[in-house]
Amino acid sequence: MSNTGEQWSPSNYVTHASFVPALTSRVVSLLAPTRADNILDLGAGDGILSIAIASQAASVHCTDGSRPMVEYAASRVAEGNIANVTTEVIDASTQVKEQVPVGKYNKVFSNAAYHWIFGSLPSNEARAKAIQDVYDILPQGGQFVVECGGHGNIGEILVALVSVVKSAWAKKGVDKTYADIKAKLWPWYFATNDEIEEWLKAAGFKIELLEREYRPTTLNNGELGMKGWFDTFGFTFLEGLTEEEKHASIAEAVELLRGADWLEHGGKWVVGYVRCRFKAIKE
Ligand SMILES: C[S@@+](CC[C@H](N)C(=O)[O-])C[C@H]1O[C@@H](n2cnc3c(N)ncnc32)[C@H](O)[C@@H]1O
């Protein structure tokens, strides 16, 4: 799956995904920003978290592979008159080395983006190279602090998505195999901790912490939350379908997920997120 840049919707993100930058106390505590830190944020999305971190740092460079997201983040920076946040479009899967000056940032940070970044790369060798690029632009003593979806993340949603995509294409007379879906429509790679450990060590990092957490996650907007999640994050799976077919597929996926993720008494969707977090040092 190649870069998803232009397909991201900042307004969907703000409406349906505000829980993403909000649920970050653990990873931000690992980052431990100080007034001496110049921080590069990769896959920074709508910029909300970059702006929050900047209040405790010397500066934050808020970057993302999606131009609409970066433009939205830049508008928030301008509106808030925030002097120590800059923005730039950077595809973190391939452009870190060509766009980031060596030694400019003493910390590289990322929340909820590396499963997309890894997903846009074709192999584990390419994923290891993306980590190596971060190592190469950090100064000695520099830190790399990340939270992303880990192996097992949103398992029930993946099953529902494969099922509805196969059935939508079957209705059009096309036999879409799992392999087709995985190769062309699947945007994520949820790495195991073993893989991440291997890539970090191969790059030369010392791993200070590497953890995996099952974190049931409440979606925004009550009953509408699951549909909003698909609109915001599931768009690549529905490529090639008509608007009507997309709508029907999402409705079918929502129904399939009711048994697993809908809390009838709480009136909310709670999804099976698995997070991987690490803090690695360039010694
Ligand atoms: C779930 S959002 C997380 C945004 C933000 N870090 C936060 O915590 O709210 C994932 C972001 O990763 C970005 N992204 C996906 N692939 C990327 C890539 N290859 N390079 C840089 N950013 C990427 C998307 O555009 C999106 O803004």
pLDDT beyond 80 at 266: yes
Per the CB < 8 A criterion, the answer to whether 41 and 33 are in contact is: no
* This prediction's pTM: 0.96
For residue 148, pLDDT beyond 90: yes
For the Cβ of 94 lying below 6 angstroms from any atom of ligand 1, the answer is: no
- Residues 114-141 have pLDDT tens digits of 999 999 999 999 999 999 999 999 999 9
Judged against a pLDDT cut of 80, whether residue 4 lies above it is answered with: no
Is the CB–ligand 1 distance for residue 66 below 6 Å?
A: yes
User: DSSP labels for 63-116?
Assistant: EES-HHHHHHHHHHHHHTT-TTEEEEE--TTT-HHHHS-TTS-SEEEEES-HHH
CATH of the domain at 71: 3.40.50.150
Ligand 1 atom at minimum distance from 92 CA: 20
**Residue bearing the bigger pLDDT, 266 or 113:** 113
Interval between CA 44 and ligand 1 midpoint (Å): 6
Q: Is 8 in the pocket of ligand 1 (CB under 6 A)?
A: yes
How many domains does the chain divide into? 1
CB of 233 closer than 6 angstroms to any ligand 1 atom: no
Specify the higher pLDDT residue, 20 or 122.
Answer: 122
Residue, of 202 and 11, whose pLDDT is higher = 202
What's the pLDDT at 71?
Answer: 97
Using most ligand atoms within 8 A of CB, pick from 24, 116, 154 the residue to mutate for ligand 1: 116
CA 265 – ligand 1 centroid, Å: 33
- Ligand 1 atom closest to 94 (CA): 19
Helix 225-233 vs helix 243-261: crossing angle, to nearest 10: 130
Q: Is 93 in the pocket of ligand 1 (CB under 6 A)?
A: yes
pLDDT, average across residues 171-198: 96
Q: Is the CB of 49 under 6 A from ligand 1?
A: yes
Using 50, 70 and 90 to split pLDDT, how confident is the model at 170?
very high
In this structure, the residue with its CA closest to atom 4 of ligand 1 is 45
221 phi and psi angles, rounded to 5 deg: 65, 35
Looking at the predicted structure, is the pLDDT value of residue 69 above 80?
yes
For 102-112, the pLDDT digits (tens) are: 999 999 999 99
Q: How confident is the model at residue 2 (pLDDT cuts 50, 70, 90)?
A: low
> Which pLDDT score, from 0 to 100, does residue 160 have?
97
Domain that holds residue 179: 5-281
pLDDT of residue 1: 65
Confidence band (pLDDT; 50, 70, 90) for 245?
Answer: very high
Average pLDDT value for residue range 50-74: 97
Average pLDDT over residues 192-218: 98
Nearest CA to ligand 1 atom 9: 21
Answer for the pair 70, 6: CB distance below 8 angstroms, yes or no. no
Mean pLDDT for the chain overall: 96
What's residue 219's pLDDT? 96
Residue 87 CB contacts under 8 Å (≥ 6 apart), including other chains: 47, 61, 62, 63, 70, 73, 74, 77
> How many other C-beta atoms are found inside a 10 Å radius of the C-beta of residue 183?
11
